[in-house]
Structure 1
Amino acid sequence: MVEQLGFEFAVQPRRLTKVSPARLANFADCPRRYRLTYLDRPTPTRTGPWAHSTLGAVVHNALRALFELPPERRTPVRAAQLLSEHWQDAGFADAEQAAVYRDRAKTWVMEYVEHNDVSQTPIGLERWVSAPVNPEPGRPPTMIIEGRADRIDERGDELVVVDYKTGRRAPDEYEARSSQALAMYAVASARTLRKPCHRVELHHLPTGTVAAAEHTDESLRRHLARAEETAEDLRLATDTLTAGGDGDVLFPASPGTRCAWCDFRPSCADGQAAGPPAKSWELLAP
């Protein structure tokens, strides 16, 4: 049962900060990007679509649609057809480049079906999970973690969180174990679906790599403790901004190489000064 994790899920006496892996990562990477994404209204000017994001979304959508089919229809050919049905060209250099990556992605999903057991129906597909938690056992919740997991499998008496990857580099066990997002999904999945969840997996479609990690209760608590620290900084900055604080001071920019492909580069002078912009297709897997 989820109680064995030792996390406290009792009714909280105070307002809790809701955080998702994406929000925490945004704030940790660049507080200004967080403000521009979630707080400033109307939403500041953004860049156009990125080809690598389009590619990732298409693959995710095709695999979700595949697992929504009866097991006997989850064939490599059908996977390729679903990829074509969900295909979009947004962010690619031109139609020729888009066609090249469409064909590659079709091969990825076909090989994924060929080399992985897809006969079992996941308990969750793009499933929203949520949990009030405190990293310290027996203490009232300090935050609510939430997010949408790509896939949640039920294997025996436990759940397994699966995250699809289409990036340039194949992940390894260290990346799976160190992923705060996967750890948060594991805890929230256990709370939402009332089953233990310790195993997390990164499935890299371009290489067929499956990077897995088995968490302990203690390793999950460590991830939550780090998330709690970021969540508290985020909450304090947001409350101070609401009270009239200076947004540029509370949410400073963190200029660096990532500014080249930041969605909010057109609205951030510091990001523009950090270097030239990236082409919308530069982060595609080679």
Structure 2
Amino acid sequence: MAAPDGVASGAVRAAVPPVSLSPSRAGDFMQCPLLYRFRVIDRLPEKPSEAATRGTLVHAVLERLFDAPAAERTPPRAKALIPGQWDRLRESRPELVELFADDADGERLARWLSEAERLVERWFTLEDPSRLEPAERELFVEAELASGLRLRGIIDRVDVAPTGEVRIVDYKTGKAPRPEYAEGALFQMKFYALVVWRLKKVVPRRLQLVYLGSGDVLTYDPVPADLERIERKLHALWEAIRLATETGDWRPRPTKLCGWCDHRAHCPEFGGTPPPYPLPLAPAAPPVQGRMGAD
């Protein structure tokens, strides 16, 4: 799970230049630089979604299940955790009340919770938690590269074999991507692997994406050359973010994902106007004057 840096919450915070990069925010910039600005610079509020909130709930259940002894990590035990974790989630994020505000009879909420149960049950067909003892769960990691770029994120699960080999595991409540899109799906995992490599001087043996929506498991075994490539990519991304931050030039990048965006009212592609830029702009460089020729 990526670190929620820069995403607006109910509280209004003063705008500050970005100081770190997480997989989710890197993904935002690659998808649409203006979306990155709205989330990280302007911190515009976003409505909670049923799908994302269900994902948060399922992650919480799978994390808490490992508190139980191995023999008690069963589907009934996991499903029994759902109501309590849902209550805790609503207490920590009051804005979630609006998700089912118009659901007077509770039918939509019941269907939503049933889908969460199905996702949790499917996990048991993909992994056996009675045979797993994670070294870390919901692990916050942060590393500063030699360039000064700070990378951060939250890893769902870290497994360490008796031989010392590290496996990074991430749960996805959606469906696995088609093979031609697998590289994009692995970006987040390679990001985490790079952070672990720079922190621990160990290249993770395996990266594993567990797709609960479709019942698929995607694995990848990285090598240092992979992580060096992702490091170069992140440096290029950060340089583009730095330039946009200084100039205020955040270009929209229209795609089919625009239909899901909360910020169309502020987007020029949909006739909107972004809010006034809240950060100081770097002074424009003076034009370079060439020398006049003798003739």
Query: In 1, are the aligned partners of 2:205 and 2:222 still within 8 Å (CA)?
Result: yes
Higher relative contact order (CA 8 A, sep 6+): 1
Corresponding residue for residue 218 of structure 2 = 211
State the alpha-carbon separation in 2 of the partners of residues 99 and 77 from structure 1: 17
Check conservation: 1:259, 1:271, Cα contact below 8 A: no
Q: Which residue of 2 aligns with 1:186?
A: 193
Hey, which bits of structure 1, 4+ residues long, moved more than 4 A? Answer: 172-178
- Match runs of 1:238-257 below 5 Å: 238=245, 240=246, 245=247, 247=248, 250-257=249-256
Partner of 1:56: 55
Question: SS at 1:187's partner residue?
Answer: helix
Count residues with an aligned counterpart. Answer: 240
How many angstroms apart in 1 are the aligned matches of 2:257 and 2:179?
24
Two-structure CA RMSD over aligned residues (Å): 2.6
Q: Within 5 Å, give how 1:109-258 maps onto structure 2.
A: 109-113=120-124, 115-118=126-129, 119-133=131-145, 140-155=146-161, 156-167=163-174, 169-171=175-177, 177-178=183-184, 179-193=186-200, 195-238=202-245, 240=246, 245=247, 247=248, 250-258=249-257
**Gaps (5+ residues) in structure 1?**
1-15, 134-139, 274-286
Partner of 2:30: 28
Is 1:83–2:62 an aligned residue pair? no
Rg larger in structure: 2
Q: Is the 8 A contact 2:167 2:208 kept in 1?
A: yes
Query: When the two structures are superposed, what TM-score results if normalisation uses the length of structure 1?
Result: 0.74
| CA spacing shift, 1:252–1:173, aligned 2, 3 Å | closer
Identity %: 30
Letter of the 1:227 counterpart: L
Amino acid at match of 2:52: S
Change (3 A) 1:86 1:18: same
Matched, 1:96 2:107: yes
| Structure 1 residues 28-76: Cα deviation after superposition (integer angstroms, max 9, x where no partner) | 1111111111112xx33x3421111111111111111112333233111
Normalising by the residue count of structure 2, what TM-score does the alignment of the two structures yield? Answer: 0.72
Shift of 1:193: 4.7
Kindly provide the amino acid, as one letter, of the partner of residue 235 in structure 1.
Answer: R
